[in-house]
């Protein structure tokens, strides 16, 4: 009797690869999936479920389905990839050093001059002469 390919093993590994490869170019662009990559976690979960189903099928019915060796290797590799991804997001993503020269809450900003929408220079010291406070808004710069 001819043995069939065990498709869930390969589909599960493909989902794990997609979970790792899609974070930076696709999901890191949007704030809802950048801070907590829940879509990638769901892809890892679906890939692991398919790998487990394929491995169970291969070990329960080895006469009909292939994949005992390849499935075990791909399953182990998937666990390693998932672990590296989670450690990279949860640990190394938080290891960005803070700037020692950055302003703290309540600290006065130094004087500066910027151009307004008409191109005319506007100094912060001049604005503070006629107003009580000055609000600075910083954009992250996704343009």
Q: Tell me: the pLDDT tens digits for 20-43? A: 999 999 998 888 898 899 999 999
Q: Report the percentage of the chain scoring pLDDT > 90.
A: 51
Residue 113 pLDDT > 60: yes
Please say if the pLDDT value at position 14 is more than 60: yes
Residue 78: other Cβ atoms inside 10 A: 23
Mean pLDDT (whole number) for 88-102: 82
Q: pTM for the complete prediction?
A: 0.68
Higher pLDDT, 114 or 78: 78
Which position has the token pair 């949007």?
30
Q: How far is CA 52 from CA 2, 27, 72, 86, 118, in A?
A: 23, 26, 10, 20, 62
């Amino acid at each position: 009797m001819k043995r069939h390919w065990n498709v869930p093993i390969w589909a599960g590994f493909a989902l794990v690869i997609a979970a790792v490869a899609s974070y930076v170019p696709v999901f890191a662009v949007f704030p809802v999936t950048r801070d907590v990559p829940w879509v990638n976690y769901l892809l890892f979960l679906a890939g692991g479920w398919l790998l487990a189903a394929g491995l169970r099928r291969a070990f329960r019915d080895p006469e009909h389905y292939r994949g005992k060796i390849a499935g075990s290797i791909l399953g182990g590799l998937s666990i390693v990839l998932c672990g590296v991804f989670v450690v990279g997001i949860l640990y190394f993503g938080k290891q960005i050093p803070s700037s020692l020269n950055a302003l703290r809450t309540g600290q006065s900003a130094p004087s500066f001059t910027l151009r307004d929408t008409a191109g005319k220079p506007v100094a912060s010291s001049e604005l503070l002469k006629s107003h009580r406070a000055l609000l600075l808004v910083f954009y992250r710069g996704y343009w």
